[in-house]
């Protein structure tokens, strides 16, 4: 009985061993396949997560950024990420910066370096649709016109235009006007009616800019002393800001591509005009208001 049992069980073990040996390569292949499947699943999941994050970030930028869609291609290399910055405080006893100091060559240099006099640059033709531009209506520098073959729409960035306007208002403040009225600055070579129109344009443009931005930040009131009403507004609250310096550097480099010769860009045949009763060419600053009504 014992012999039979041992023989039977021994035979069973032998059969199982043979079966196990035959199945081992198959099991190994299955294990390897499962590992590759897991690796593939993890890889595709990671790619999906990255693509989803990238798409979501792009959607957030399009929804929350004031930049028009496609702007990142125009300003290639410009840092448009937001960072937290605090504005300057208000102190009536110490309220001058180099930008608000008594007029001098140093003040003029500071405003120039800030970008208040940055001129036009060339927007490549393929990006014109972002800003609804077409050659029949807007100035376009052809590659055959300028040395170096640079071409594009002649444009100016709003950032430097707004700085120009702030600087113009500074020059026309009642306590600065006398200084600048006797100098050959571009703004004040205009006759009185056009100078007023220029200032009014800047005031209105800055008003629209402020309303367009609609800054939702807050200005808290800090205690100044132990008195019941001894408080003051604290303008050092945080703001989310773009990197202006990055944009300014880029525009300065682009400005060099604009043709600076004595001859203006010729008007192509078939162009449409938007003079609105106003001509920039000719002795503009000598005209009186009656000739433009």
pLDDT in tens, 112-128: 999 998 888 999 999 99
DSSP string covering 207-258, please? HHHHHHH-------EEE-SSSTT-EEE----EEEE--HHHHHHHHHHHHTTS
Q: What tens digit of pLDDT does each residue of 26-52 get?
A: 555 566 677 788 878 888 888 877 777
Radius of gyration of the chain (CA): 35
Query: Residue 7: pLDDT above 60?
Result: no
pLDDT of residue 177: 87
* Contacts of 293 by beta carbon, 8 Å cutoff, 6+ apart: 277
Range of the domain at 45: 1-64
**CA–CA distance from 98 to each of 104, 160, 257 (Å)?**
10, 18, 30
Same domain, 257 and 213: yes
The mean of the pLDDT values for the chain is 79
On whether the CB atoms of residues 137 and 272 are closer than 8 A, the answer is yes
Same domain, 156 and 222: yes
Q: Are residues 197 and 280 in the same domain?
A: yes
Q: pLDDT confidence of 289, banded at 50, 70, 90? A: very low
pLDDT of 20: 53
Total domains in the chain come to 2
Domain for residue 31, yes or no?
yes
Q: Are residues 115 and 220 in the same domain?
A: yes
- Residue 146 belongs to a domain: yes
Residue 70 lies in a domain: no
Domain identity same for 213 and 269: yes
In a domain, 235, yes or no: yes
CA–CA distance, 268 with 145 (Å, rounded to integer): 12
Global confidence as pTM? 0.71
For residue 144, give every residue at least 6 positions away whose Cβ sits within 8 Å of its Cβ, in sequence order, or none.
none
């Amino acid at each position: 009985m014992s012999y039979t049992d041992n023989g039977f069980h021994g035979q069973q073990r032998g059969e199982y061993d043979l079966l196990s040996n035959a199945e081992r390569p198959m099991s190994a292949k299955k294990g390897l396949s499962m590992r590759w499947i897991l690796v593939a699943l993890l890889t595709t999941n990671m790619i999906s997560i990255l693509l989803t994050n990238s798409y979501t970030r792009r959607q957030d930028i399009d929804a929350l950024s004031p930049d028009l869609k496609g702007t990142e291609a125009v300003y290639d290399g410009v840092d448009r990420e937001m960072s937290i910055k605090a504005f300057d405080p208000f102190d009536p006893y110490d309220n001058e910066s180099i930008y608000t100091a008594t007029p001098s060559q140093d003040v003029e240099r500071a405003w120039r370096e800030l970008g208040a006099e940055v001129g036009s640059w060339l927007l490549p033709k393929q990006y014109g649709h972002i800003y609804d531009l077409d050659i029949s209506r807007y100035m376009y520098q052809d590659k055959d016109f300028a040395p170096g073959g640079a071409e594009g729409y002649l444009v100016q960035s709003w950032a430097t235009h707004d700085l120009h306007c702030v600087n113009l208002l500074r020059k026309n403040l009642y306590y600065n006007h006398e200084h600048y009225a006797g100098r050959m600055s571009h703004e004040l070579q205009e006759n009185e009616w056009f100078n007023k129109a220029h200032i009014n344009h800047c005031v209105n443009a800055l008003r629209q800019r402020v309303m367009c931005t609609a800054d939702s930040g807050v200005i808290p009131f800090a205690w100044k002393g132990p008195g019941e009403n001894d408080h003051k507004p604290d303008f050092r609250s945080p703001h989310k800001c773009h990197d202006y310096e990055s944009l300014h550097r880029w525009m300065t480099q682009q400005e060099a591509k604009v043709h600076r010769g004595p001859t203006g860009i010729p008007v192509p045949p078939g162009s449409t005009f938007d003079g609105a009763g106003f001509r920039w060419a000719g002795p503009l600053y000598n005209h009186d208001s009656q000739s433009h009504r």
